[in-house]
Structures are given as C-alpha cells and as structure tokens.
Amino acid sequence: MQNKLLKNKPVNLEEQAIGVMDSGVGGLSVLQHIHRLLPHEHLAYVADSQYAPYGSLSPAQITERCIAIADFLIAHGVKALVVACNTATAASIQLMREQYSLPIIGMEPAVKPAALASQNGVVGVLATVGTLKSAQFAALLANYGQDIQVHTQGCIGLVECIERGELDTTKTKTLLKQYCQPLLDAGADTVVLGCTHYPFVRQSIQDIVGDDVSVIDTGEAVAKHLHNTLQEQSLLTTSVGVPSTTVWSNSQVANADTVIQQLWGNGHTTIKPLE
C-alpha cells in the first residue's frame, strides 16, 4: 500500500523533519552536508548500526531493514527520506519509491564527476563489497566509465572501525593504506569515496594518496538534490528558529552515543535508542 503523505498534504508539512537513514553512523556525513545547506530544517536520523555493514546482508534483508526504518521515520512525521547508504540505495530504493509517495533521495558512487575530474582517465573507487557487486554500480560503470579506467577496491572491515569511532588508530590507517595502494599502483589520479562512512577518514585517505590525487565525496551533491526537490514541492521550511536533530541508534557499541556526538559535531541533538 502506498503512503499517502503527500497526496493528502497535512497542514504545515513543510515544518516536519527530513528523515535520513543509514546502515550505521556513516550517513551522518551526509547529514552534515544537509545541515550546512538547509540550516533551519529539523532532522531525524536512524543509524541501523546493529546490522552494519549492509553489504553482509542479502538484498532481501537490506530491503526489509529499509522498509522498517522508513515506516519508523514516517510514523515520526518526516516530509522526505534520504537513503544515505550506497548499498541500501542500490538494493532497495526502487521498491521504496514504489511503496511511498514522499520524496526519496538516494546515493550513488560519484563515477560521473570523477570521470570529469580525472586528468589521466584513471579513477579509483573505495566502497563496500555490497556496493561494488550491485547492479546499480555496474550501470554507473556502463554509463560513465567507458572512456576511463575504473579500478575498484572493496574495503572490508573499514565500516566497522568507523562505527567504533576508530578514525585515527593504527588499525584504521593500516586498512586505508592497504586499500588505497592498489589504486595508486594503477595510476588513479581521482579516488571516489563510495560509502558514506568514508568521509570521516577522508583526511587520512588524502594523506595516503597525496595532494595530487582528488578525493570525491557525494554528500554535497545529495544535499543539493534534496534542496531542489523540497523547493520544487514547496516543502522547504519557512522557520528561522533553531532546528532540532534527533538520532536513533541500535548500536551495540558501548560508546555509541559518544561516537555519534563525535562524528556529528553539532549541538541541539537528542540521541535515542532504536528498539
């Protein structure tokens, strides 16, 4: 059954929150871009950390999680959904758009802008195995990778390090060097961050690949797309007050709240358990 949220638009729908969801805390990098571009919007975020990374789940399991979280956010009154996870977007966004009538914005690795930015035609992609194996990523390569060399690197274990807040540890830096080196060996002059968790270790990646290599994050482009979509549907808030941010998490990590505050880095935030 389709959600009728926008077909029977309630009064003051534009003042409801923007819902953002991810397999964990990585989507907070996208939330930061949204907050910078839309500073007066209320934000509602779900970190489904108990099931991170989604790449270890089947497409059916990922979709089950996405539908459950979308239903949760819609029940809490959101006017739009951002699926701030490349793997979830690839597995589930088409079905979500069929099931719900509110705007749904997804992610995709920035192969097109990387192809345009590359000077030597060699692009590297850091991503989860689930994203790299998806049909969506294959379609991106077919559409935008024909005139360039694209070298992909699955980053097993990196999401888990970031979920624990281990951004600057020896283990995380060792993994980053291990995953970046094949791209450098291939001659990549542009590296795509194909997972929303990876911007939180962007500086370490830049240090490893060097200043001559461009590192591309898609979060800003997603925020701009969201802004344009809300504007087209007259859903931008007219409020100029201090907005609220609510984060729900089902993380099993002992310091989960501290990690969220560390990564999000903004005040006026309420963190709640996701049952």
User: What are residue 193's DSSP bridge partners?
Assistant: 126
Residue 150, beta-bridge partner list: 123
85 is known as an active-site residue: yes
Task: State the residue for tokens 């990876």.
Answer: 198
Q: Domain residue spans in the chain?
A: 13-106+220-273, 111-217
Residue range 210-269, pLDDT digits in tens: 999 999 999 999 999 999 999 999 999 999 888 999 999 999 999 999 999 999 998 779
Residue with the bigger pLDDT between 273 and 8: it is 273
pLDDT at 177: 98
Phi, psi of 61 (to 5 degrees): -70, -40
The predicted pLDDT at position 11 comes to 62
If you compute the radius of gyration of the chain from its CA atoms, what whole number of angstroms results?
18
77-103 residue pLDDT tens: 999 999 999 999 999 999 999 999 999
In this prediction, residue 171 carries a pLDDT of 97
Active-site entry in 66, 155, 180, 195: 195
Strands 17-22 and 43-47: parallel
- CA–CA dist 153, 132 (Å, integer): 8
pTM: predicted TM-score of the whole model, two decimal places: 0.93
Catalytic option among 66, 85, 155, 161? 85
* Residue 134 CB neighbours (<10 A): 22
The confidence score (pLDDT) of residue 9 equals 56
Inform me whether the pLDDT recorded for 1 exceeds 50: no
Q: Which CATH number applies to 111-217? A: 3.40.50.1860
By C-alpha distance, which of 149, 155, 160, 192 is closest to 177? 155
Percent of the chain predicted with pLDDT > 70: 96
The closest alpha carbon to 193, from 115, 263, 126, 113, belongs to 126
DSSP β-bridge partners for residue 78: 17
The SS3 of residue 162 is helix
pLDDT digits (tens, 9 = 90+) for 173-192: 999 999 999 999 999 999 99
Rounded Cα distance, 51 and 213, in Å: 33
Model pLDDT, residue 4: 41
Mean pLDDT of 198-221: 97
pLDDT at 47 over 80: yes
228: amino acid identity, one letter: N
Indicate if 111-217 has the same CATH topology as 13-106+220-273. Answer: yes
pLDDT of residue 109: 92
Lowest model confidence (mean pLDDT) among 5-9, 49-53, 173-177 = 5-9
Mean pLDDT of the chain: 94
State how far the Cα of 125 lies from the Cα of 182, in Å rounded to an integer.
11
Whole-number Å distance between alpha carbons of 33 and 26:
12
What is the DSSP-derived secondary structure letter of residue 155?
Answer: -
Token look-up 């990690």 returns 259
Q: How far is Cα 189 from Cα 165, in angstroms, rounded to an integer?
A: 29
Q: Per-residue pLDDT averaged across 55-77, rounded?
A: 96
Closest by CA to 153, choosing from 125, 194, 189, 115, is 125
User: Residue 18 — left, alpha, or beta (φ > 0 → left; ψ -120 to 50 → alpha)?
Assistant: beta
Q: What pLDDT score was predicted for residue 266?
A: 84
Residues near 217 by Cβ (< 8 Å), separated by ≥ 6? Answer: 29, 110, 193, 198, 199, 202
What is the model's pLDDT at position 267? 74
What is the CATH number assigned to the segment(s) 13-106+220-273?
Answer: 3.40.50.1860
pLDDT number for residue 8: 53
Mean pLDDT computed over 155-162: 96
Q: Report the pLDDT value the prediction gives residue 268, as an integer from 0 to 100.
A: 78
pLDDT of residue 187: 98
